[in-house]
Structure 1
Amino acid sequence: MSTLATPHAAPLLRESFIELPARERARSLLDAGTFRELLGPFDRIESPWLPLQGVVCQADDGCVIARGTIAGEPAVVAAIESAFQGGSIGEVSGSKIAAALEMALRDCERGKIVRPVVLFETGGVRLQEANLGLAVIAEIQAAIVALRRHVPVVGVIAGMVGCFGGMSLAAALCSYLVVTKQGRLGMNGPEVIEQEAGIDELDASDRRRVWQLIGGEQRVASSLADRLVDDDAEAVRAAVHAAFAQGVPPAHRSEQVDTFLQRLARIDPANVTPESMREVYSAQAAHSQPRKEHA
C-alpha cells in the first residue's frame, strides 16, 4: 500500500484542542518529553467538602498542574478540567493554581524566569465551596498581577464551558488571552443572565446570539482578548509561543482604566448588539491613533 500523502490527508493531521482533557491540553503546550505533573491524581489531594454533600470527588479536584518547558524555557501550566463539576473552582483546585503561580513568582523574583499559562475552562466558583472558592480565586488574581511584572501571563479559553464568574476577572488580568471561536468569556453565563433578568434580556438557548455577544471572535473584536485561533492543538501552541515572544506588554488591560471607561460611556444600554459593541471599539481605536502631521 502506498504511503504517499493524498491531497485530502492534511486536515486529518489536525488535533482538536477543545476535545482534549485538561491533562492532555497541558501536555500539548509543553515541549515534547518535558511534561511533569505536580500534585497529580496519585497524590489524592481531594476536596474535603464535596463528600459531605454527596458529591463524588476527583483525585486531582479537576485541576492539572504541569511543569516543563515552552520553547526551551521553564514553564508551568495550570489546566482546569471542564468535565468535573463544570470546571468550577473549589478550595483544592484553586489552591493548586494559586500555589503554582506563586511558586513561579518566587522563581522569577530570584532571576529564574518561568513562563505561566492558565487554561481556563470554568464557570467560576464552586457553589458547594463558595466562600473558600472566592477566597482562593482572589489569591489567583493577586498572583497573576504580581507575576506579570516579570513575565507575560498567558491565558487560553478554548471551549466546552468557557470562562465565567470570578475566573473571568482572572482571565482579564492575564497579559495575553488566546481564544477560539468556540470559547466564551463573560462575568455571568447566559443561563444566569436569563434566570436573573428574564428571557427578554437574553435567551440562553439562542446559541448563535450567545456566541455573537460573548464568543471568542467577538471578544477579540472588542479588545477583551488578544488572539483568535482555530480549534487546533498546534495553532493554540503556536499562539502561546507567540505571546511569550512578545514579552510583557507596555500596559495590561486592567491598567487601561480610562480607555475602557471611555468605551463604556459610548455604549447605549438600550441598544447593545454585537455590531454596536464592535463599533464602540473601532471608533475608540481610531480616536486613539496618533494624528498624522501634515507637511
Structure 2
Amino acid sequence: MTDASANNVTRLLQSRSFVELGARERARALLDAGSFRELLDPFDRVTSPWLPKQGIVTQADDGVVVAKGTIDGQPAVIAAIEGAFQGGSMGEVGGAKIAGSLELAAEDNRNGIPTRAVLLLETGGVRLQEANLGLAAIAEIQAAIVELREHQPVIGVVAGSVGCFGGMGIAAGLCSYLVATREARIGLNGPQVIEQEAGIEEYDSRDRPFIWSLTGGEQRHASGLVDSYVADDSDAIRAELHKLFAQGKPAQPRSRRHAWFLQRLTDADTREQLDAAGVRALYYQGDAQ
C-alpha cells in the first residue's frame, strides 16, 4: 500500500459520518463542545395535535430539534429536522419551532447580540396530514430566513438521505449559503411526485443514478445552486460552517438573482430530457453574477 493510500484509509477510519447521525446528534456535533442547550426538548411534550386524529403516533419534539449554543465562540441557533419521523415533513408545531427560533435570532441581532443560524434540512416538505397549517408554517420559515439573513448569514445544510424538497426546497434556496454532501438531494418536486404527474418515461423514481445526476449534491454544486460541496464527515461540515460564517453575508443572496435563473429556464430546450452535463452547461452560460 502506498503512503497516499494509507493516509486515505486513516482519514476514512477517523471520519465520523454526519448522515448517520440523528437530528439531535447532528446539532450537537456542529455546536462548540459543551455549548449545546435544547429548546422545547422532548420532556416539554410539545406534539402535533393533528396526527393522533388520523391514527398516527406523534413524536415528542414533532421531528424538529432546536438547539442554542455557540459556533466558533459566537452565539448560534441550530434547527435540525429529523428525517426519520414522517419523512422530515413540516407540520404546525415543528414549523413553528423553526420559524420562532429564526425570529428570535433576528431579534437578538436587533438588540446587539450577533446570533447566527444553521438549518439542518432533511425534509420532504409540507406534512400532508396537516395541509394548510404546514404550508403556513413553511411560509413563516421562509419569511424568517429573509429577515435574519439581513443581519447574519443563515446557512442550510442538506446531508441526506431524505434530501430537501417541496416548500423547504425553496427555504433552502433562501439561505445565505447552502452546504451539501454527495448523498444529498435538493429540489422542488420529489422523484415520485414527478413520476406520478409526468409518467415514468419522463422521470423514473427508481433510477437512482439518474436522480442523483440531476438533483444530487455534487450536481447542484456544479450548477451553482449549492455553495459548498463537502464529504459526509461531521468535522468537515463543522469546518465549512466556520469558514462560511467568517466570510460574512454574501454580496447578493441567490434568491435576488431570480431574473438570471428565470432566463436559464427560458433557454432550456424541453423537447429532450436534459442530462447532467446539459444542466451544468445551461446554468453556466453567460454571466452568473
1:148, distance to aligned residue in structure 2 (A): 0.5
Rounded Cα–Cα distance in structure 2 between residues aligned with 1:167 and 1:258: 21
Deviations 1:249-274 (A, max 9, x none): 11101101221122222211123221
User: Residue 89 of structure 1 corresponds to which residue in structure 2?
Assistant: 90
SS in 2 for 1:256: helix
User: Residue 196 of structure 1 corresponds to which residue in structure 2?
Assistant: 197
Deviations 1:193-212 (A, max 9, x none): 00111001100000000000
- Contact preservation (8 Å) 2:43, 2:60: yes
Of the structure 1 ranges 273-282 and 199-208, higher mean CA displacement relative to structure 2 is found in 273-282
- Contact preservation (8 Å) 2:260, 2:288: no
Deviations 1:74-106 (A, max 9, x none): 000000000100000000000000000001010
Distance 1:253 1:288, change over 3 A: closer
1:280, distance to aligned residue in structure 2 (A): 1.4
Rounded Cα–Cα distance in structure 1 between residues aligned with 2:151 and 2:55: 43
User: Residue 128 of structure 1 corresponds to which residue in structure 2?
Assistant: 129
Q: Which amino acid aligns with 1:70?
A: I
TM-score (norm 1): 0.93
Rounded Cα–Cα distance in structure 2 between residues aligned with 1:195 and 1:262: 27
Within-5 A mapping of 1:1-295: 8-271=9-272, 272-284=274-286, 287=287
1:288, distance to aligned residue in structure 2 (A): 5.4
Q: Which amino acid aligns with 1:54?
A: G
Deviations 1:175-234 (A, max 9, x none): 000000110001000011001110011000000000001000111111111110000011
SS in 1 for 2:132: helix
Structure having the higher Rg: 1
Rounded Cα–Cα distance in structure 1 between residues aligned with 2:284 and 2:43: 50
Moved beyond 6 Å, runs of 4+: none
Could you say what the CA RMSD is over the residues aligned between the two structures, in angstroms?
1.2
SS in 2 for 1:203: coil
Deviations 1:34-62 (A, max 9, x none): 00000000000000110010000000000
Of the structure 1 ranges 96-105 and 9-18, higher mean CA displacement relative to structure 2 is found in 9-18
Of the structure 1 ranges 196-205 and 252-261, higher mean CA displacement relative to structure 2 is found in 252-261
SS in 1 for 2:271: helix
Gaps of 5+ in 2: 1-5
SS in 1 for 2:285: helix
- Contact preservation (8 Å) 2:102, 2:148: yes
Rounded Cα–Cα distance in structure 1 between residues aligned with 2:258 and 2:89: 29
Aligned residues: 282
Rounded Cα–Cα distance in structure 2 between residues aligned with 1:100 and 1:273: 39
